[in-house]
């Protein structure tokens, strides 16, 4: 479970799931496509057709408050979009 950190459940990814059978995950930045494929297949018992990965850099953010300007940084992360073979699906809500 150290390769896949969490699934991405947003409106955009949910639309891709319904249309193209694609699922999104936040993955470890050091993981490669082969490791992500193996982790998805073993964890969810599905067959993976392809994987696309993107690395997002952290951004500087600031906000204005009564105490002054607070500055921070968002986290850097790797996003993996996993396309499953026809007929396979993942149910993220089965354990709730």
Structural domains present in the chain = 4-61+71-84 (3.30.70.330)
* pLDDT of 95 above 80: no
Contacts of 19 (CB under 8 A, 6+ apart): none
Which pLDDT score, from 0 to 100, does residue 27 have? Answer: 97
For 47-94, the pLDDT digits (tens) are: 999 999 999 999 999 999 999 999 999 999 999 999 999 999 998 877
Alpha-carbon span 88 to 43, nearest angstrom: 13
């Amino acid at each position: 479970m150290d390769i896949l950190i969490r699934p991405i459940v947003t409106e955009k990814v949910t639309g891709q799931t319904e249309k193209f059978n694609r699922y999104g995950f936040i993955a470890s930045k050091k993981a490669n496509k082969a490791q992500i494929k193996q982790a998805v297949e073993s964890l969810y018992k599905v067959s993976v057709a392809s994987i696309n990965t993107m690395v997002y850099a952290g951004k500087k953010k600031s906000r204005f408050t009564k105490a002054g300007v607070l500055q921070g940084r968002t986290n850097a992360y790797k996003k993996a979009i996993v396309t499953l073979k026809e007929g396979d699906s993942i149910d993220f809500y089965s354990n709730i």
